A = this chain, B = another copy of it.
Amino acid sequence: MREIVIGGAQMGPIQKADTREEVVDRMIALLQQAKGAGCDLVVFPELCLTTFFPRWYMEDQAEVDQWFEREMPNAATAPLFAAAREAQIAISFGYAELTPEGRHFNTSILTDRDGNIVGKYRKTHLPGHSEFDHDRAFQHLEKRYFEPGDTGFQVWRNMDAIMGMCICNDRRWPETYRVMGLQGVELVMLGYNTPSVNSQDSVEGLEKRLYHSELSMTSAAYQNATWVVGVAKAGDEDGHPLMGGSMIVDPNGYVMARAETEGDELIVHACDMDACSFGKSTIFDFARHRRIEHYGLICSQTGVVLPD
């Protein structure tokens, strides 16, 4: 048994007017709650230091850049790192990263139990669009404010397990998990900000959107025999609803813990990393069963090419 008690720290809405210091105070409160629950590792959402700003159309780059972090940790987040180190809890969270070279990424980091950053991931699958879209009920400008991540899907040894990260829309793409699965991943951590409404299909409804999120994570957990922890930023941000549905999924694709609210809410499960072994050594023993000679299009062709 290699047990890691994991907390999924769902966060309720962050309004445009909220400061990073106010947000970090909420994160520390969740961390303290996690400490009380015996957590070894806490996963926070994507872009969890600010409101989900890609819904706002901006042309002034200085205005855009105010949503980004130039270093990590920084003054605003140092108390979070200190609290995590003090509690001996590893953490993962997402933020908008502005590099010294002026590049913009949607990023997540992972620390060890001493608050040292041991992994950094930059979001690969940016959803949405880059120009103002009059046909949408609201904007989703991730392709405008970020460039696609350059890290790929790495994994890291941490806390005697193999861990990887992805972010939000990445979770809907089986390629995401498979690349990590091929590196033996046992725990995939991800955060998301997912609107409760489809900007291109207003009748879709929350229930269907929660189902698609769950389906993506549960299938990937099963098909790669890995734990998956998905954590939402949820609730009403300045009139724009984000869905909840944070969950911890076991390597058989079963939901072991699930958030019930759209607010700050900790979900906890004691995750045995050894539970990955059965699937990885039987039906999903990749070395015995995968047939890469027939997968070529997945890596050679980006879009659809219709048959004659």
Contact = CB atoms under 8 A, between A and B. Distances in A.
Nearest to A156: B307
Interface in A254-297: 254, 278, 280, 282-297
Contacts of A296: 179, 299
Interface stretch (A22-30, A37-45, A169-177): A169-177
B182 A127 contact: no
Contacts of A62: none
A290 B303 contact: yes
Number of copies: 2
A54 to B, nearest CB: 15
A20 interface: no
A67 interface: no
Contacts of A253: 211-212, 215
Interface in A104-134: 124-127
A218 to B, nearest CB: 6
A44 to B, nearest CB: 24
A99 B178 CA distance: 34
Interface in A72-109: none
Given A162-B306, A294-B152, A304-B181, A282 B215 contact: no
Contacts of A289: 125-127, 169, 173
A156 to B, nearest CB: 7
Contacts of A201: 278, 282
A196 interface: no
A215 B222 contact: yes
A183 interface: yes
Q: Which of A175, A292, A301, A305 has the most CB atoms of chain B within a 10 A radius of its CB?
A: A175
A155 interface: yes
A286 B304 CA distance: 7
Nearest to A280: B304
Interface in A171-222: 172-175, 178-179, 181-184, 200-201, 208, 211-212, 215-216, 218-220, 222
Nearest to A212: B222
A298 interface: yes
8 contacts: A125-B289, A172-B284, A173-B290, A183-B305, A184-B306, A201-B278, A286-B304, A287-B304
Given A286-B303, A292-B302, A299-B299, 19 more contacts: A126-B289, A157-B307, A173-B290, A174-B174, A174-B175, A174-B219, A175-B178, A178-B298, A182-B297, A182-B304, A183-B297, A201-B282, A212-B253, A215-B215, A218-B219, A219-B219, A286-B302, A287-B303, A295-B299
Identify the 6 closest CB pairs spanning chains A and B, nearest first: A287-B303, A219-B219, A174-B174, A299-B299, A152-B294, A182-B297
